[in-house]
A and B are shown apart, each in its own frame.
Chain A
């Protein structure tokens, strides 16, 4: 097993710079998830670790060895591709054995290793089938099998679940996690799906336009987003943003929304009186007030998910979402009164998006 160190890495395709001075460390045995919207550079970074893309600037080392100029086969890594990239003309067994065969390992050893991996992944019955004879989930497992069969130092996953249906995806998430817990291999996992990131990662790296926005544990990112981008990206339904102006009178702080509504802020946030801010709170951090208490919100759409109820409404001139664990007897068009829980309020600087105050923990 090995750690990965990424120092001041840059990547440019011609004149287009896709990664800017990325610094990152992946600890030995860690499961790190790179997450970000499409085009943020996460797959490029992964492919650079794999050795499939050249490094334009900076240094990547695996297990303390700089690998910038090493071909993939000398990096001791394995990779699972989005489309699985299973060789269509080889059986499952041949697919899994391919890398071992190229390494000229003895045949009995290859057979044993393949069968061990197949055992782990419940692939024994499919060993002699061709990829086209397998279901999506089975193919996914073969792709995993191909990766684990040779005990690499590092596993790289490039959106491996995005071609699966929702139910299978949940199941595979669990499988990958339990596999990781068994093998304890250093893993870098790329996804655009923040739920996948949240549920699987030891640590999450949020990438945006070629830059790292924030690195941290899932709950850390959820509770203490460093900026507006991370705040909006992590969490579903996503955080609500209301633009306003910070007001400070003596020790009291509040935010004056665009329509003049005063919104409560706990503690003493950074920032000066009159600063333009974004007043943010997660959908579950709203309390339903009695008539006249809190801010009036006109209901536009109600989405009952069964477990809880999502209410989309107009709040201080902005559309927001509120989530309630209980079932509500309200209808679209009605007005309800909502009160943000002060402990869940985050303030961001409207000018640069940086956090001023994370409510929880204050």
Chain B
């Protein structure tokens, strides 16, 4: 009798405890539910749908027709797609790599106490807050034959460059904007990373005999590894998705020199009305981004874990 009462008591207690926990959980779910729902409806569902469309022939009007992997097989032999993929890869490689030393260098600079720091910091952060469209228009002007950039080059006796009007230089011109736009953003991230490194390590390194370079090389860089990983992965993803700037500045030209994959996907979907093919290209892009991120994370965290 008493043992049952004891058990009952226990159950009641547990139920009460569970009650409190589940109440808290319920509250948490209630808070995240709208966000989850919005994400599900406007992000995940379309993504899943894109996977399905990639296996179909779909012109937006007639119902999608299932054609298996035909879109993918076809893409592999499509010189336009391969060219666009090459342009995208070049864009990613050459817009991501310089951003690393530039943003890290600026971060190191701004991590010191400079009297002009605050002003410079806002000035340098400008590109991040500038809308892509405005930026593309401004840069288009600057890149013109008699624009600011050629004028400055002229001071040094350099012949004007037909930045956007030459298939040789257009991609570089677009890449330059990518670098200009990304650098301050990642500078802030690096700055946060730098400030998270305890000053003690630098003191210890000084005592151990490390000069500025040695402590940057042996202390700062290794301890910034997680930050660097974040910057590389984020930057690559952003670079792979670049769209507005080439769309506005060159619309992919001249002669396809700046037709990055997202732009080609957009044209295929909404100018050529080939949703299936566009979806297949998106899947390709998605897989490329995933693979890259995965390899990056593995590479950076191989061997030892951090801190």
Main secondary structure on chain B at its contact with chain A? helix
In angstroms, Cα B13 to Cα A299, docked, is 46
Within residues 43 to 101 of chain A, which ones have a CB less than 8 A from any CB in chain B?
47, 50-52, 71-73, 77-79, 81, 83, 85-89, 98-99
Give which listed residue, B200, B206, B304, contacts A72 with CB less than 8 A.
B206
Chain A residues in 8 Å Cβ range of B207? 50-52, 72-73, 77-79, 99
Flag if B307 contacts A81 (CB, 8 Å).
Answer: no
Mark B183-224 against chain A: 1 for CB-CB distance below 8 A, else 0: 000000000000000101101111111110010001100110
- A132 located at the interface, meaning its Cβ lies under 8 Å from any Cβ of chain B in the complex: yes
Chain B residues in 8 Å Cβ range of A132? 307
Flag if B204 contacts A88 (CB, 8 Å).
Answer: no
Query: With A87-B219, A89-B306 given, is the CB distance from A81 to B210 under 8 Å?
Result: no
Flag if B206 contacts A73 (CB, 8 Å).
Answer: yes
Q: How many residues on A have C-beta within 8 angstroms of the other chain's C-beta atoms?
A: 24
- A222 located at the interface, meaning its Cβ lies under 8 Å from any Cβ of chain B in the complex: no
- A130 located at the interface, meaning its Cβ lies under 8 Å from any Cβ of chain B in the complex: yes
Give which listed residue, B200, B203, B208, B304, contacts A99 with CB less than 8 A.
B208
Give the distance to chain B from A322, nearest Cβ to Cβ, in Å: 43
- A103 located at the interface, meaning its Cβ lies under 8 Å from any Cβ of chain B in the complex: yes
Flag if B304 contacts A130 (CB, 8 Å).
Answer: yes
User: How many pairs, one residue from A and one from B, have CB atoms within 8 Å of each other in the complex?
Assistant: 66
In angstroms, Cα B218 to Cα A144, docked, is 20
Flag if B208 contacts A81 (CB, 8 Å).
Answer: no
Flag if A52 contacts B206 (CB, 8 Å).
Answer: yes
Within residues 263 to 309 of chain A, which ones have a CB less than 8 A from any CB in chain B?
none
- A247 located at the interface, meaning its Cβ lies under 8 Å from any Cβ of chain B in the complex: no
Flag if B208 contacts A98 (CB, 8 Å).
Answer: yes
Flag if A88 contacts B223 (CB, 8 Å).
Answer: yes
In angstroms, Cα B28 to Cα A250, docked, is 84
- A42 located at the interface, meaning its Cβ lies under 8 Å from any Cβ of chain B in the complex: no
Query: In this complex, what residue of B is CB-closest to A99?
Result: B208
- A351 located at the interface, meaning its Cβ lies under 8 Å from any Cβ of chain B in the complex: no
Flag if A89 contacts B223 (CB, 8 Å).
Answer: yes
Chain A residues in 8 Å Cβ range of B201? 85, 87
Flag if B209 contacts A103 (CB, 8 Å).
Answer: yes
Flag if A83 contacts B304 (CB, 8 Å).
Answer: no
Query: In this complex, what residue of A is CB-closest to B218?
Result: A98
Closest CB pairs A-B (n = 4): A73-B209, A99-B208, A85-B200, A85-B204
| Complex A-B: 8 CB contacts under 8 Å | A52-B203, A83-B200, A85-B203, A87-B222, A98-B208, A98-B218, A102-B208, A103-B209
